[in-house]
Amino acid sequence: MRHSDKPLSAISPQYAKLCKFSAEISMVSSIGSLLNWDQETYMPAKAAAHRAEQAAFLSALAHEKATCSEIGDLISACEQDRTLTGDSKSSEARNIREMRRDFEHRTKLPTELVAELARVGSQAQEVWKTAREKNDFAMFRPWLEKMMDLTRRKAECLGNGSAGELYDALLDEYEPGATAKEIEGVFMPLAERLSLLVKELGASGKPPSDAPLRHPIDPSRQHELGLFVIRAMGFDLEAGRLDTTAHPFCSGMGPGDTRLTTRYREQSWTDALYSTMHEAGHGIYEQSLPKTPALFGTPISEAISLGIHESQSRMWENFVGRSREFWVWLLPQAKQIFGGAGGPLGGALRGVSVEEIFAAVNTAKPSLIRVEADEATYNLHVLIRFRLERALISGQLAVKDVPGEWNAAYKKYLGVTVPDDARGCLQDVHWSFGLIGYFPTYTLGNLYCAQLWETINKKIPSLGEQMSRGDFGTLKAWLNQNIHAHGRRYRAGELCEMLTGKPLSADPLMRHLEGKLRPLFR
Ligand code: ZN
């Protein structure tokens, strides 16, 4: 931060030029994000073919810009300039280190492959939507095969560094430095402990009733509640929006523009509430990154990794949103918004107590749909996807066998029978556009989140009391200051140790789940 008060050109003309290039690349990608958001929300169906061409064109443009030899020369010049890199912890040094990483990564991929991935991904995504609606895996299969071939080619181009596997090259894009072997090492014991806990809870007396969640609530009222909550969380709606899509997501497009989406089910109103809080958690991270005009597009203005990103969304969704204190605050507000006693919704939630709703949102019941899974079983859904996609990339699993393997895994890990592919292997959008190596970051996020939460509660002892008043300011400020403001200054593991004093471990997550769920199931 030494130079933050000086204009970039005064520090180094090469560095200033490099930052200008970064801003231009990000400008192109952010236009691509806007088009993708549009495709998911309002685009007419017949625009799909042209949209695929637009997506391919922009990806190629961004890729060509990001891999031109001038950038390589500028990075080398900056690396040798001691005023920039002498202090390895300065913003400039960290930016240059990350720019080198990105440049090396991108130059390994031929432009033609990047454009093809974007084109086929955009088309496959459209086919996926229809296939999922029609419960028709055969329709999606050739597209998934194409995407897998392209993704494998991408992994081959990126290379697997040391003695790792192809999958590691894909993983590294989302979680720098992580390997499949390491992840397997954390995930498998976690899955065992979770399976045991879920079995124990299932066997111990009466599970909490979910009746308070089954009152039918009109989607417009659910939308109103969602907006009310994310405003309280501190999501800036003048710099963002909330829309409806098949698959909820958050897209941080640039300064002042972070888009959230959710989906509403009349018979299960907390689904939308939690997916909205989840995406708003991502959104707050995006809105709080240092995206000043001078830094826009440079690594310091970007998120560290998807695992850390997910730790933010999970924190709001589960650690805040599924706490007793949160419901002390929200239940009366929800009753109000849904119409209250004798209101237009017939007094939905009338007579429901905080204890009842707190218990209802903390089930631990094996289910079919990942995005609707409870906190305890969620990671088992992720584990299944991690194992399948890893086998798809290594070639041990063929696309045609995905439904069968999927269903067998659900039986094995969750004990449930998958009735159809729409509620099975067609439920997630990720594979349709080549997001392979992405799923593990969800569970990494849960692990980081639980570990950070223990630290946060030590730092803010009155956090529970604040939450029961709907006051999330201190929490958000802590996250802003300790996580968001750093951008990519640190690696995920480094930041975790710096803030919590320990390397990542499954213990805090297990402590959290056991501590909360056991008393509820007694
Ligand atoms: Zn997320």
Tokens 């030590």, residue? 458
User: What's the CA-to-centroid distance between 310 and ligand 1, angstroms?
Assistant: 5
Query: 279: CA distance to ligand 1 center in Å?
Result: 6
How far does residue 282's CA lie from ligand 1's centre (Å)?
A: 7
Please classify residue 462 by burial: count the beta carbons closer than 10 Å to its beta carbon, then call 0-12 exposed, 13-18 middle and 19+ buried: exposed
The secondary element (H helix, E strand) that includes residue 39 is: helix 13-41
Query: Which burial class, exposed, middle or buried, applies to 351 when counting CB atoms under 10 A from its CB (0-12, 13-18, 19+)?
Result: exposed
Residue type, 238: E
- Record the tokens describing residue 82, joined without a space: 């001691």
Burial of 228 (0-12, 13-18, 19+ CB in 10 A): middle
Taking the centre of ligand 1 as the mean of its atom positions, its distance from the CA of residue 278, in whole angstroms, is 6
What's the pTM value of the predicted model, to 2 decimals? 0.89
Residue 258 — φ and ψ, nearest 5°? Answer: -125, 115
Active-site residue (options: 279, 286, 317, 375): 279
- What is Dmax (Cα atoms) for the chain? 72
Task: Name the residue among 391, 379, 315 with its Cα closest to residue 187.
Answer: 379
Question: Ligand 1 center to residue 245 CA distance, Å?
Answer: 15
* Sequence-ordered list of residues with C-beta below 8 angstroms from that of 443, at least 6 positions apart, any chain: 187, 190, 378, 379, 382, 383, 386
Chain-centre distance of CA 51, in angstroms? 24
Q: What is the pLDDT along the chain (522 residues), one digit of tens a residue?
A: 444 556 666 779 999 999 999 999 999 999 999 999 999 999 999 999 999 899 889 988 998 999 999 999 999 999 999 999 999 999 999 999 999 999 998 899 998 998 899 899 989 999 999 999 999 999 999 999 999 999 999 999 998 555 679 999 999 999 988 889 888 988 888 998 998 898 898 888 677 888 889 888 999 999 999 999 999 999 999 999 999 998 899 999 999 999 999 999 988 999 999 999 999 999 999 999 998 888 899 999 999 999 999 999 999 999 999 999 999 999 999 999 988 555 555 567 888 999 999 999 998 889 999 988 899 999 999 999 999 999 999 999 999 999 999 999 999 889 899 999 999 999 999 999 899 999 999 999 999 999 999 999 999 999 999 999 999 999 999 999 999 999 999 999 899 999 999 988 889 999 999 999 999 887
Tokens matching residue 381: 């859904």
- 53 is known as an active-site residue: no
Q: How far does residue 274's CA lie from ligand 1's centre (Å)? A: 11
Determine the distance separating the centroid of ligand 1 and the alpha carbon of 85, expressed in angstroms.
Answer: 34
CA distance 336 to 328: 14
